[in-house]
Structure 1
């Protein structure tokens, strides 16, 4: 399976790109601390989906999708901290939040589909 064709992967990649675009506008201290954290967690979602598909077994793939889901939750945490510390506006958060809300059920659906026919 080619992970690049997975809608869930594309959505995760989009989340990472949106986070990146917003973080690049920050001052050095914010980028170097919380900016690195939220960027890593957001990018880790798509990276884990990609790595899972390359592992070769359904069990390994599922394990990495679970890690992707955990990274999504970590990203939610960092987004809350970013907002609380006034590093993003409501408008900026609203660019990211809907992607995250869509991604959670898609990750679960993908996880449940692994190992079933047509996969």
Structure 2
């Protein structure tokens, strides 16, 4: 069984670090190597979808709510915050709960 390690997450940049002082961070989590690999894949998916969305934005006849790339980003962000909620410390869970982040993401679907 993998042991859990402490990681510091910056959602906006998609950064995952074990060093608390390496950069700014939003959430502190405890995760196994496999869980961090999954979280990294989710951040990579958001980045790839963002690029697709950038190119789509130059096609003005497609509206946002009919755009699969934006749907993919919304769905992946929900998965990221769900993982952070499950793996996060009390402060991370409280912030996600009080800000209503998961419910806001569900409303976008």
TM-score for both structures, normalised by structure 2 = 0.46
Larger strand fraction of residues: 2
> Which protein has the bigger helix share?
1
The TM-score, its normalising length taken from structure 1, stands at 0.43
Larger RCO: Structure 1 or Structure 2 (Cα < 8 Å, ≥ 6 residues apart)?
A: 1
